[in-house]
Chain A
Amino acid sequence: MNNHFDPKDIVMDLPRRDARDKLLGRTKYTIDTGGSDVLHAVLLRAEVPSADIKSINFDKARSMPGVKAIATYEDAPGLHGLGIADTPIFAHDVIRYHGEPIAAIAATTVEQAQAAARAVEIELVEQDALITMADALADGAKLVHPNWSDYQILFEGAERKGNIAWEATVVRGDTDEAFARDDVEIIEGCYSVGRQSHVPFEPRVAVASYEDGRFHIQTSTQVPWTVRHVVATVLGVSDSKVRVTVPAVGGGFGLKFDCSLEPYAAVLAKKTGQTVSIANTRKEEQMTCLCRENAEIRIRSAVTKDGEIVGREATVLMDAGAYGGEQVFLSTMTAHTLGGNYKLGSIKLSSLVVYTNTPPNGAFRACNGVYNTFALERHTDEICKKIGMDPIEFRKRNVVGKDDLGATGQVFEGDVIGPMLDKAIDKYGPHEEKTLPDGRLYGRSTTVGTWFIFVGPSAATVNLNSDGSATLVTSGVEIGQGTMVQALPQIVAASLGIHPDEVIVKSADTDASGKDLGVGGGRTTVSIGAASAAACEEVRDKLFSMASQILQTKAEDLVLKNGRVEIQGKPGSGTSLQTVIAQCEAEFGPVSGSGSFTNPGIPAMPGCAAGHFIDAIDIPVHAVHDCELAVDPDTGHIEILSYRVVQDVGRALNPRAIHSQIQGGVVQGLGYALHEEITINEQGAFDQQGFEAYRVPGVLDVLPVEFELHEGAPSCGPFGVKGAGEIPILNVGAAVACAVANATGEQVSHLPLTPPKVLNVIDGEQGKLDFPYISSDWKSNTVRFS
């Protein structure tokens, strides 16, 4: 009984309902919780990168004014992690990074808590610190985790060894044979990138209370169910003893895709019997940010003179920081990004997640896709230079399309990148040499990218109210991207034939809705949208069943429109939704439906991938970016002259909202490409500690991004949708780097391209980048094959 509605009914530029209160300053984010109701907690953090803790004395601290409770390792001894449970929430007897929490102190005011933290007496024996991955991989390097082999494995299949927390490898075909051919050129290059910090305007913050034997945590998070699970794990209680609710979130970008401050607030709430609030200062937020990791890449390819890539090998070193965290999971994404975009005759990839004595890294909007795309597109342009082929022509010949194999052997469903590339060339014109009158160097690039939609479990319930409105209950969180207040109510509304303003969207509460992987990775519209659509289908079935009785018409001939149940083709016929709902309620009770969604699972080629969490991507998403820029050869300054995008959206449910994501995402990418630099000193601490030295783009650093939305590519997402929030950032590093290479005629191997780094490029320095500890012999870099 599935008379579907027209998905086109979903599409509109619905304005967001939360804008007004945000503009008035009325919205209460978690950081706005305060007053005399809550205690304030701070973390005592390590100020050295590596040390043994000999003793800690809290006597003085405990006796200071206003201090209510102190929590340490003993209160929360559990280890957590992704793939490996290697992460404590408090340092126990060892400090592994500058900023690592040692204790949490709750007091009446935050100043009192800070004063108490300063009064704690610690005796440390400092140890040698491994600040770089080179340090960590050197022969005889000490171990960041001497007990690495004792850690509980949460996901089987990866190699691990010493300071290599995780290894993910791909082997498809015979690259040795490919490289040995006499009709190929071999092009090899090294690339490196620094960390990027999210800088959400609301820092990580949590407020916890302990009520009726359960923890209630209100937090600024993207992942309420992960918070629930990790808090329970580290505190040694069952998951059901933790409830997580989420108000409006002031930005996330992936930083909040992990549990962070919540366990500290929770344990102190239990100890004090009061509500406890804990927030990172901006300095703490910057210095312990779960950054997009720094990475080092060696990539080599065997390419025929006709531009066929017969073999490709690459090794990627990913800096995890002191604990595995997101990087363990993200090692999976090399295959689909660095190993993506192009048809490959044979491929070997390894991603090594490396422990260092630095703050742990994490997930940030398109994660390692951003730097893998940079390295891949730079490498691609270097290939074109070597074989003398036009970079656009090369891409046209080689981008994957229908029935082509991905790195792990998955079979792609449609021609997507090819047509998008054609669209870009058509709309934005061919590349032309240009001379700028002021002596600056002109460059342009066209790059392509592949990312994925992070599908996975989501659940939704739709409750119909007697007045004809509907309540959507999910664990989705509104972090600013708009999906919770736009795409989701649009889907429910179109499905039920009402206006989106009639759809109440319940804010996330793990007591109210089913399990959800979280908000990020472009998954909200797809996974939560699919679960919501499924819930609506159940509601529609109930409504049509009842209405068919009331109207004496077959259910297949009925439609939901304008708050009515009507006979198809006869507008104004039928009866009101309220009437049908009332009848349902009278006969069998309130009307609701529930739905769930998880990744369908696309097969990869068996045996290709090892240590991967995702062997094949269910929903690939692509981009083509075109960038023109001018380089000042005296100062190294770069001005972006134009930036144009073709984005693979499947179906655009709210085109204006997608425009906002593209503008915002590209600008964040310009920050990554040009301005945002993190340097780590000998103390294992970031030199950039706040807005002064960590430079995010300002209003004069940006320009309007032109874009074209590419619809219709295959997607198992609801109504053919793909998420649009992440991919805008994916190609920016690549686009800028390739344009700078074209402008200067020099090799570009590193991001960010700050003005001093651009002068390095002009001086020919970046072409010399080489990693002696990443061998050209691919096997010898791996744990599995060496």
Chain B
Amino acid sequence: MQLDEFVARDLGRVQMAEEYQPRMISPTSVADAAKILSELGEDARILAGGTWIMRAPIRGEVDDKVFVSLGNIEALNDITLGSEKLSIGAMATHHGIAEALDGTPDLNVLKQAALASANPSIRRMATIGGNICTTDFLSPDLVPALIASDATLTFQLDSGVDAISIEEYIETRAARPVGGLLTLIQVPRGSYRSAHQRLLMRQAGEYAVANLSMRYGVNRAGLLEGVRIAVGSVEDVPKRWWKLERALDGKAPPELDITAIAKEHLDQFSGRDGPDAPGWYRTRVLPRLASDAFDATTKHVH
């Protein structure tokens, strides 16, 4: 189907293809959206929650790209909380996700990340898809939470469907071809404990200077297993703190001095300097963040 035919159908009117130059297109299905994005390529900007794209002029990005709005695709808003997995549509908002999660420990990391980000209005608008796919946004909260939760992403391309782990996606996203559409995020469930900590300069209302997500299991012997720790905002891209994970796996929780152990493994990170904070500060606070996150895994989130 040609783009102009689609638009004509969308508007319920017949238009001459040459005359019509839509500035915004609002498909109602994933398949339609994928087709349009594939056709438009670099000429399209995906409009999810709007909280990033609508600030383009402030960033000095002046262009005339077509907005492809995902707001009319019902399927992308679904959040299904099952016993084996959590499924989240890419257009679910931070607020929607926080509301849907009931405080069971394995998903605390995600709930805390969704609850504390930015400010109340932004949380009602900003989507999980936007949080994951916006390469230039250096301080996402949901991304490290999803990495710690071993999430899988599903993309719809014009040619078909593609599934990829969030870790792999985050590492490769800048190089991926334009045109795919993130549709679904799935998080496997289990008897884990988890938490998300963010460090700000004020008490609220800002992006994290550093954040840390943690999820782990406790085996029958009472030892830590499957420790996953993801750190965000410290470097350009969130990544796992595998050195600390390795150091904690197999340890017994009660006597652990997380701060001290974390200090020994700080060399995995090189903090980025930014207008919000210097790099050395981001790494300096990480051991404390790790310790606070661990303490928080033992508390419930309501």
* Cβ distance B229 to chain A, nearest Cβ, rounded Å: 18
Residue of B nearest to A686 (CB): B275
Binds B, one of A20-28, A266-274, A644-652, A694-702: A694-702
Would you call B206 and A695 a contact (CB within 8 A)? Answer: yes
Cβ of A88 under 8 Å from chain B: no
Would you call B288 and A634 a contact (CB within 8 A)? Answer: yes
Cβ of B75 under 8 Å from chain A: no
CA–CA, A586 and B281, complex, Å: 78
Contact partner of A698 (CB less than 8 A), chosen from B205, B207, B280, B284, is B205
CB contacts (< 8 Å) of B202 on chain A: these are 675, 695, 697-698, 700-701
Cβ of B53 under 8 Å from chain A: no
Looking at B58, B199, B202, B203, which has the most chain A CB atoms within 10 Å of its CB? B202
Binds B, one of A95-103, A126-134, A511-519, A751-759: A751-759
CB contacts (< 8 Å) of A699 on chain B: these are 204
Between-chain CB contacts (< 8 Å), 20 pairs: A118-B62, A634-B285, A635-B288, A636-B281, A679-B275, A687-B275, A688-B275, A689-B275, A692-B206, A693-B275, A693-B276, A695-B206, A697-B202, A698-B202, A700-B202, A700-B203, A701-B203, A701-B204, A755-B277, A755-B281
Would you call B204 and A698 a contact (CB within 8 A)? Answer: yes
Residue of B nearest to A688 (CB): B275
Q: Does more than half of chain B's interface fall in helix, strand or loop, or is it mixed?
A: loop
**Number of interface residues, chain B, beta carbon within 8 A:** 21
B residues sitting closer than 8 Å to A (CB atoms) are 58, 62, 199, 201-207, 259, 275-278, 280-281, 284-285, 287-288
- Please encode chain A, from 729 to 757, with 1 for each CB lying within 8 Å of some chain B CB and 0 for all others: 00000000000000000000000001110
Residue of A nearest to B205 (CB): A698
* Cβ distance A740 to chain B, nearest Cβ, rounded Å: 16
**Number of interface residues, chain A, beta carbon within 8 A:** 24
CB contacts (< 8 Å) of B62 on chain A: these are 118
CB contacts (< 8 Å) of B204 on chain A: these are 698-701
Once A283-B58, A679-B275, A690-B58 are accepted as A-B contacts, the answer to whether A635 and B285 lie under 8 Å apart by CB is yes
CA–CA, A619 and B202, complex, Å: 37
Residue of B nearest to A637 (CB): B201
CB contacts (< 8 Å) of B281 on chain A: these are 636, 755-756, 759
Would you call A759 and B275 a contact (CB within 8 A)? Answer: no
Residue of B nearest to A697 (CB): B202
CA–CA, A692 and B122, complex, Å: 13
Looking at B207, B259, B275, B280, which has the most chain A CB atoms within 10 Å of its CB? B275
* Cβ distance B45 to chain A, nearest Cβ, rounded Å: 17
CA–CA, A690 and B275, complex, Å: 11
Would you call A698 and B288 a contact (CB within 8 A)? Answer: no
* Cβ distance A156 to chain B, nearest Cβ, rounded Å: 43
Would you call B206 and A756 a contact (CB within 8 A)? Answer: no
- Please encode chain A, from 276 to 297, with 1 for each CB lying within 8 Å of some chain B CB and 0 for all others: 0000001100000000000000
CB contacts (< 8 Å) of A701 on chain B: these are 202-204
Looking at A634, A689, A699, A701, which has the most chain B CB atoms within 10 Å of its CB? A634
CA–CA, A192 and B196, complex, Å: 37
Closest 9 CB pairs of A and B: A700-B203, A687-B275, A756-B281, A693-B275, A634-B288, A698-B205, A700-B204, A701-B202, A701-B203
Would you call A756 and B278 a contact (CB within 8 A)? Answer: yes
CA–CA, A283 and B58, complex, Å: 7
CA–CA, A759 and B58, complex, Å: 32
CA–CA, A675 and B285, complex, Å: 18
Once A688-B275, A693-B276 are accepted as A-B contacts, the answer to whether A635 and B58 lie under 8 Å apart by CB is no
CA–CA, A636 and B278, complex, Å: 13
CA–CA, A560 and B123, complex, Å: 59
CB contacts (< 8 Å) of B206 on chain A: these are 692, 695
Would you call A635 and B275 a contact (CB within 8 A)? Answer: no
Would you call A754 and B275 a contact (CB within 8 A)? Answer: no
Residue of A nearest to B62 (CB): A118
Looking at A635, A699, A700, A759, which has the most chain B CB atoms within 10 Å of its CB? A635
* Cβ distance B269 to chain A, nearest Cβ, rounded Å: 16
* Cβ distance A750 to chain B, nearest Cβ, rounded Å: 14
CA–CA, A675 and B199, complex, Å: 14
CA–CA, A518 and B126, complex, Å: 44
Residue of B nearest to A702 (CB): B203
Once A690-B58, A692-B207 are accepted as A-B contacts, the answer to whether A635 and B199 lie under 8 Å apart by CB is yes
CA–CA, A692 and B278, complex, Å: 16
CA–CA, A699 and B277, complex, Å: 21
CB contacts (< 8 Å) of A282 on chain B: these are 58
Taking A699-B204, A701-B203 as known contacts, 16 extra A-B pairs with beta carbons closer than 8 A to each other, sorted by chain A number, are: A118-B62, A282-B58, A634-B285, A634-B287, A635-B285, A636-B281, A675-B201, A679-B275, A690-B58, A695-B201, A697-B202, A698-B205, A755-B281, A756-B277, A756-B278, A759-B284
CB contacts (< 8 Å) of B58 on chain A: these are 282-283, 689-690
* Cβ distance A67 to chain B, nearest Cβ, rounded Å: 17
CA–CA, A636 and B58, complex, Å: 31
CA–CA, A118 and B285, complex, Å: 43
* Cβ distance A58 to chain B, nearest Cβ, rounded Å: 20
Residue of B nearest to A681 (CB): B275
* Cβ distance A703 to chain B, nearest Cβ, rounded Å: 11
CA–CA, A699 and B285, complex, Å: 24
CA–CA, A697 and B288, complex, Å: 24
Looking at A688, A689, A692, which has the most chain B CB atoms within 10 Å of its CB? A692
